[in-house]
Structure 1
Amino acid sequence: MQELRRTRRERRRLLAAATAVAIVTGLVALGATTGTAAAADNDKLLKKYLADTWRSMAAMAHPRTGLPSDNIGGSLNQKTRSEFTSPTNIGAYMWSAVAARDTGLITATEARERVAKTLASVAKLERNETSGMFYNWYNPTNGKKLYTFPESGDPIKPFLSSVDNGWLATGLLLVERAIPALHDEAHAIRKDMNFACYYNPNENAPAGQIRGGFWDEDPKETAPVKGAYCGGPEVWYTGHHYGAFNTEPRIASYLGIAAGQIPDKHYFGTYRTFPNDNCDWSWTETKPVGQWREYMGVRVFEGALPYRGLNVVPTWGGSMFEALMVPLFVPEEKWGDKSWAINHPLYVEGQIEHGMSEAGYGYWGFSPSNNPAGGYREYGVDQLGMDGPGYTSDQERTTVDQAYEGCREGQPAPTSYGDGVVTPHASFLALRYAEDAAVQNLQNIKDDFDAYGPGGFYDAVAVRSGQVSKRYLALDQGMVMAALGNRLAGDSLRGYVSQGAMREHLEPMMRMEEFSAGRAQ
C-alpha cells in the first residue's frame, strides 16, 4: 500500500502542470460542477465527510461542560484531548452542532442540548468586565482561565483577542437565530461584547482600524500601548492594528459595524494593498496595480497584486483561511459583485496555480495548520500575501523575493520547492468557488496518503515526504463543518448570521466598492 501511494504521488507531480490547466478552466463560474450527475456524486461523498468530521467535533467536547478541546488525537481517544480551549474553538463547536442538525446528521433535540450545555459554561467563564470580551485560553474541563499551558507548562499572559472574540460572537449570533429556544441565553452573553473596545478611530483616520487585542494585566512587554477606547480602566493594547483588509479579523469589524459599536466607514479603513505611489511600502510583496477611489468620504487605494496572470486583492500572509473563512458566514461575493465576487474565485485559482503548476506538488490548499513535523505553522502562497516574506507553502520556507518597481530589485524566482504542506480544510473553504477541483483534490489526498481517519481528514500532509499530522483541530474541523453545512443545507449558516443589521450595514458598502482584481490585461 505504501509503495502504491508513493507511485501515485510521483505520477501526480508529473501530471501537475497539465492538471492545473484543466482545473483552472473550470473556474469560470462560482461553484461550477460538471453537471447534475457530478453534483449528486459530490453530495454523497460530502455527506460522508460531514458525518466523519462531526465525529471529531463531538469527541472534542467535554461531556460535563460542553466546551471543546483545542485538538484531539487522530484515534479520537478521549485521553488525547488537549486541556485548553479558546473562544474560536467554542464558536466553532456551536456552529458545527447547528450544521449537523441542519443537514439531518443529528436531531434538533441533540443539537439544542449540546449547545445549551456549552452556553451554560460560557456564561460562567471569566471575562473582562468593561468590554465583555473573553480571554484566549480556558480549561475545557472546568472553564478556568489559564495562566500556563497544561501540556508544556509554558506561561500564558491572559489576552483578549479581537479576532478570537469575533468568532465566538459569530457562533453566539448564529445560535440566537438558529435555535430559538436558546436565543435569550446566547444573546445575554453576546450583548455585552463590545467591539468598540478594540477600535482606534485615529489609525488611518477618518475610518480607523481595530487592534489585535489587549491585556488587562500588565504583560511587561515593550510593544503594548496603554489606552481605553471604550472607557473603564486603561488596558495594554497590542502595538499593531489589523490593517490588511482581506484577512480573517474582518469578522470582528463586521460584527462591530452591525452592532453599531464601530462606524460603518471603518469598512474602508483597512488596506486592500498599501499605496503604490512611493517607496514607503516597498518592504511588502511587490508593487500593486490599482487606483484611488473614494467611498463615504474615505479615500481608498484599490490595489491588487499581480500573480501569474491574475491581479488579486491579497491576504496578509497568502493563506486560504484568511480569505475564505469569513464568507462561510457573510455572503461577500453576493453583496459585492464588483469586488468579492471577482476576488474570491481568483484567490482560489491562485492557490491551485501555485500547488499544481508553480510548485508542482500535485496538490493544493495552503493555510495555517498543524505541522506534520511537529507543532503548528502558518502555510500559504507567498505571492498572494501583502507581507514581504509571507507564509510559505513548504517545510523549507521557500520564499519569492519579487522586485518592487522603482524602489528595490528582487531575486530570481525559485527553481524548485521542497516538501509542500497542504491542509484539507483549505479545499473545503474552496468548495463554493471551485467545487469539482476541491472534491478532486481531497480525493487525491485521501488516495495518495494515510490522510483520513475516524474523524475525517487529518489536519495536514507534507506531500513529498508523505508525513501526516494525525490530529484534529477544532478550528480547522469547524471550518470544514461550516463549509459542508452551507453546501448541503442551502447556505443555512450564512443565512443565520447575515440577516438583519449585518446585511443592512454591510451590503450597501460592498455593492458600492470596485476592486482592481481581475485577469491581467
Structure 2
Amino acid sequence: MRRRTRVTITAMVTAALIATATPAMADAVATGTGSGHGHSGDRATLQRYAADTWASLDAMTDPDTGLAADNIEGDLSSPAAYTSPTNIGGYLWSTVTARDLGLIDRRDARDRIRTTLHTLTTLERNDASGMFYNWYDPATGEKLTTWPDSGDPVEPFLSTVDNGWLAASLRIVAEAEPRLAKQARALYASMDFGAFFNPAGAPGLPAGTNRGGFWDDEPSGCSVAEPMYNGSGETAYYTCHHYDTTVSESRIATYLGIANGQIPATALYGTHRTMPPGCDWAWQEQLPSGTTRTYRGFDVWEGVYAYDGMSFVPSWGGSMFESLMPDLLVPETKWGAKSWRLNHPITVAVQEQHAEDAGYGYWGFSPASNPFGGYSEYGVDLAGMRSDGYMSDVEKTDVDIDRPGCTVGTNPDPEFGDGVVTPHASFLALPYDRKGVMANLAGIEDELGAYGPGGFYDAVAVHSGTIAERYLSLDQSMIMAAIGNELTGDTLKSYFVDREMEKRLRPAMRLQDFSSSWGRASHHGRD
C-alpha cells in the first residue's frame, strides 16, 4: 500500500469551501485572494526566502550590463556565459519585487533597471519585428553564434515565448519606475508580436495561432519559409510547430499581442484545450471528455482530462510552470471566471494528489535541473497531453492507461521511483494552497536540505536526497514574483495591466468556458 504524504489542504477541502461559502468567500478561495497576502505566521519565512533568492539573482547578474546569466552554481560562483530574453525579463521584475519588499532601496533598484534598459537598447535585434534573439553574452551583450561551453554553432533564433516574458517585464518597469517609463515604453513599443502570429492557424484549429518563433536565415532543421506575418515584406524561416495548446507558458505572448492590437482577440480560441476525442487522436495521454462551444463564430472543443475525479484542461507536459507562470502577471482567475478560476486550483490539487499516489512525500513538478546532471522536463504524466510526457521521477516512469475503444494501456498503475521536485513549482501554487505550499517548502528545506546561500536549490530527488545544487535565473525569478505577489497584494499584476489591456483582453477571456470540475470529493489528504 502506498504511503500517504503530509499534504495539508486538499481538493476535497477547497471544493467543500467553495460549495458552502458565501459568494464572496467562494471567490476568495477560488482566486486565492483569501489566502491572506503575507499571513503573519508565514510573512517572515517568505521574506527570508525572497532575500536569499534575490542574492542568487544578484550574483548571476553582470553589474556593467545588467544582464542576468542563465544559471549559477550553488555556491554563487561561476555564472553561465549566456542569457536569454526571459532571463533578462525575469531579472527586471525581480528587481522591482526586491525593491517593493525592501530588500534594496529605490535608488539601487532604479540604477539596476537603468543599466539593463540601456544594454537592451544596444543589443542586436531583428529589424523587421524589433524582437530579440534568444542568446546573448551577459558580459558583453553580443549575440551568440557559438555556445560558450562547447564551441558548437548557434543558429540565431527569435523565440515567441522568450520575447513575451521580456516584453512583459518592460510593461512592469514602465509602471513601477516612472523615471524610466519613457525608455521602457519605447523598447516595448518596438516589439511587434504580429510577427509570430499565423492568421491561418495550426492544422485543425479555426482561429489564428502563434508559431514557436523564427530564424532570419534558413536553419539546419525543420522550418517554413513565409513572408513575415506582420506585413514587413521580409521572409522569415518559421518553426514547423505552432504554440497550439491553451495551457502553456507561451500564452503570455498571445495576451501581449492582443493587448497591443497586433493580433486579434480570437487568438484565444485558436489553441487546443485537449486534442480532439476519438481514436484518430488516441496517441494523446488520455481520451478527453468535454463539449464543443462556439465563441464569436469559432467552434472550440472544450475537452478535459481526469485525475482522481477532478476534470481539468491539461498542459502539453503536465508541468506547473506551463499552467501557472502567466498567472504571476495576468489576473487570469479574475478575468477568466469560467476557465482559469477553476483550472488553476485543480491543477495544483492534481500535482499534490500525484505526489501522494506516487509516495514521494513532496510535490511540485516542473522542468528544472536534473539532480544527477543536466536539465530535464518534469511533470505529472497523466496531466499532460504529450503521450511520452514530462514524468515525475528520475526513472522516467511512463504511465500508459486505457483509451477506451481505442487502445489498451500498457502501464496503467506503475510503481514510481525517485521523484524529482522543484521548489519554484510549489511557489507558483501560493495563491491556491498557501498552507500546503509552506509545509511543502519547509520539508524541502529542513528534511531534504535543498537550500543554500541563494535560497532553494533548483531541484531535489526525494528518495535518494540528491540535490541539483545550482540556481536557474528563470526559476528564481518565478519564485521572486510569486513571493512578491503574496506579500504585496499582487502588485506585479497591477503594474502589468493597464486599461487598454483590460479592454482588449478581458472580454475574450470572460467568454472562455472550460469544462474543468472538481467532480466527486477527492480522498486526497485523508489518513
User: Under TM normalisation by the shorter chain, which class is it?
Assistant: over 0.9
Q: How far apart, CA to CA, are the structure 1 residues paired with 2:449 and 2:366?
A: 20
- Report the counterpart of residue 63 of structure 1 in structure 2: 63
Q: Which of 100, 114, 117 is matched with 2:115 structurally?
A: 117
Q: Is contact 2:397-2:414 (8 Å) kept?
A: no
Contact 1:382–1:400 (CA under 8 A) maintained in structure 2 = yes
Q: What SS does structure 2 have at the residue aligned with 1:50?
A: helix
- Secondary structure of 2:39's partner? helix
The verdict on how the C-alpha distance between 1:104 and 1:121 changes in structure 2, with shifts beyond 3 A counting, is same
* Matched residue, 2:371: 372
Cα 1:38–1:24 change in 2 (3 A) is farther
CA, structure 1 residues 26+480, in 2 after alignment: closer, same or farther (shift >3 Å)?
Answer: farther
1:268 paired residue number: 269
Which residue of 2 is the match for residue 165 of structure 1? 163
Stretch deviating more after TM superposition (122-131 or 505-514): 505-514
Q: Which whole-Å CA distance do the structure 2 matches of 1:452 and 1:24 have between them? A: 28
Distance 1:387 1:220 in 2: 25
Count of residues paired in the alignment: 503
Q: Which residue of 2 aligns with 1:415?
A: 414
Structure 2 counterpart of 1:152, one-letter code:
S
Map 1:319-330 to 2 at 5 A.
319-330=319-330
Counterpart in the other structure of 1:252: 253
CA separation in 1, counterparts of 2:40 and 2:127?
Answer: 50
What is the identity, as a one-letter code, of the residue corresponding to 2:485?
N
The one of 176, 179, 184 equivalent to 2:177 is 179
Give the secondary-structure state (helix, strand or coil) at the position aligned to 2:300: strand
Contact 2:164–2:252 under 8 Å retained in 1? yes
Question: Counterpart in 2 of 1:145?
Answer: 143
Farther-moved stretch of structure 1 (443-452 vs 366-375): 443-452
Task: Tell me by how many angstroms 1:14 deviates.
Answer: 4.1
Shift of 1:279: 2.2
* C-alpha distance in structure 2 between counterparts of 1:377 and 1:135, whole Å: 23
Deviation of 1:34 after TM superposition, in Å, equals 11
Given the superposition, is the C-alpha separation of residues 208 and 439 from structure 1 closer, same or farther in structure 2, using an over 3 Å criterion? same
Match of 1:94 among 69, 92, 95: 92
CA–CA distance in structure 2, aligned partners of residues 295 and 31 of structure 1: 24
The Cα of 1:39 is off from its aligned counterpart by: 2.4
Supply the distance in 1 between the matched residues of 2:163 and 2:378 (Cα, whole angstroms).
23
AA matched with 1:409? V
SS in 2 for 1:518: coil
Cα 1:237–1:36 shift into 2, 3 Å: closer
Between the aligned partners of 1:419 and 1:214, the Cα distance in structure 2 is 38
Structure 2: where are the runs of 5+ without partners? Answer: 16-28, 521-527
- 1:384 maps to 383
Q: Deviations over 1:102-145 (max 9, x none)?
A: 12221111111100000000110001000110111000000000
Partners of 2:376 and 2:473 in 1: CA distance: 16
TM-score, normalised to structure 2's length?
0.92
Say which is worse superposed, 35-44 or 205-214, in terms of deviation. Answer: 35-44
Paired with 2:132 and 2:349, the residues of 1 have a C-alpha distance of: 36
State the 1:227 CA deviation.
Answer: 3.5
Residue 448 of structure 2 aligns to which amino acid in structure 1? Answer: F
Task: Show the counterpart of 1:474.
Answer: 473
Return the alpha-carbon distance in structure 1 between the equivalents of residues 311 and 462 of structure 2.
28
* Matched-pair identity in %: 50
Residues 31 and 431, structure 1, Cα contact 8 Å, conserved in 2: no
Could you tell me whether the CA contact under 8 Å between 1:97 and 1:111 is conserved in 2? Answer: yes
Give the secondary structure class of the aligned counterpart of 1:27: helix
Alignment check: 8 A CA contact 1:99 1:482 kept: yes
Distance 2:53 2:83 in 1: 18
Partner of 1:495: 494
Cα shift readout 1:476-499 (whole Å, capped 9, x = no counterpart): 000000001111111100111122
Q: Which amino acid aligns with 1:303?
A: G
Query: For the residues of structure 1 that align with 2:171 and 2:8, how far apart are their CA atoms?
Result: 41
Unaligned runs of 5+ in 1: 1-12
Q: 1:220 to 1:52 in 2, by over 3 A?
A: same
Q: Which amino acid aligns with 1:267?
A: L
1:288 maps to: 288
Instruction: Give the aligned partner of residue 220 of structure 1.
Output: 220
TM-score, normalised via structure 1 length? 0.93
- Alignment CA distance shift 1:21-1:142 (3 Å): closer
Contact preservation (8 Å) 2:7, 2:440? no
In 2, the alpha carbon distance for the partners of 1:327 and 1:38 equals 18
Greater displacement, 21-30 / 168-177: 21-30
Q: Residues 398-424 of structure 1: CA distance to partner in whole angstroms, max 9, x if unpaired?
A: 011122222222224233111110000
- More divergent stretch after superposition (30-39 vs 452-461): 30-39
Shift of 1:37: 12
* AA partner of residue 100 (structure 1): A
What is the distance in 1 between the residues matched to 2:324 and 2:93?
A: 16
Matches of 1:449 and 1:354, distance apart in 2:
19
1:238 deviation in Å? Answer: 0.4
Given residue 367 of structure 1, which amino acid in structure 2 is its aligned partner? Answer: S
Q: 1:33 to 1:144 in 2, by over 3 A?
A: closer
User: Are the counterparts in 1 of residues 11 and 346 from structure 2 also a CA contact under 8 Å?
Assistant: no
Contact 1:33/1:436 (8 A) holds in 2: no
For the Cα contact (< 8 Å) 1:422–1:460, is it kept in 2?
yes
Partner of 1:511: 510
One-letter code aligned to 2:161: V
Report the alpha carbon displacement of residue 22 of structure 1 after superposing the two structures with TM: 5.5
Q: What SS does the corresponding residue of 2:14 show, helix, strand or coil?
A: coil
Check conservation: 1:482, 1:493, Cα contact below 8 A.
yes
Tell me if structure 1 keeps the 8 A contact 2:9–2:435.
no
In the alignment, the residues of structure 2 paired with residue 325 and residue 290 of structure 1 have an alpha-carbon distance, to the nearest angstrom, of 25
Matched with 1:104 is: 102
Q: CA deviation at 1:222?
A: 3.5
Report if the CA contact (8 A) 1:32-1:436 is conserved: no
Residue 27 (structure 1) aligned to one of 6, 14, 28: 14
**CA-to-partner distance for each residue in 1:357-392, whole Å, 9 max, x for gaps?**
221100000000011111111100011111111100
1:288-307 alignment runs, 5 A limit? 288-307=288-307
- 3-state SS, counterpart of residue 123 of structure 1: helix
Give, as a single letter, the amino acid of the residue that structure 1 aligns with 2:92: M
Match of 2:20 in 1: none
Contact 1:398-1:414 at 8 Å conserved across structures: no
Displacement of 1:35 after TM fit?
Answer: 8.7
1:352 corresponds in structure 2 to 352
- Rounded Cα–Cα distance in structure 2 between residues aligned with 1:468 and 1:492: 33
Q: Superposition RMSD on alpha carbons, in Å? A: 1.8
The structural deviation recorded for 1:26 is 4.4
Q: Do the aligned partners of 1:213 and 1:238 also contact (CA within 8 Å) in 2?
A: yes
Question: Counterparts of 2:84 and 2:37 in 1: how far apart (Å)?
Answer: 41
Secondary structure at the aligned position of 2:407 is classed as coil
Task: Please say if residues 11 and 349 of structure 2, whose CA atoms lie closer than 8 Å, have aligned partners that are also in contact.
Answer: yes
From the superposition, tell whether residues 134 and 410 of structure 1 become closer, same or farther in structure 2 (CA, over 3 Å): same
Contact 1:135 1:159 in 2 (8 A): yes
**Paired residue for 1:85, among 83, 86, 106?**
83
What does the per-residue CA deviation read over 1:66-93, in whole Å, with 9 as the maximum and x for residues that have no partner?
Answer: 111111111112xx11010000000000
Kindly indicate whether residue 224 of structure 2 is the aligned counterpart of residue 237 of structure 1. Answer: no
**What's the CA shift string for 1:9-53, capped at 9, x where partnerless?**
xxxx8442xx34754444343477999899211111101101111
1:455: which partner in 2? 454
* Pair 1:337 & 2:309 matched: no
**1:403 maps to amino acid:** D
The answer as to whether partners of 2:215 and 2:236 remain within 8 angstroms in 1 is: yes
Partner-residue secondary structure (3-state), 1:506 = helix
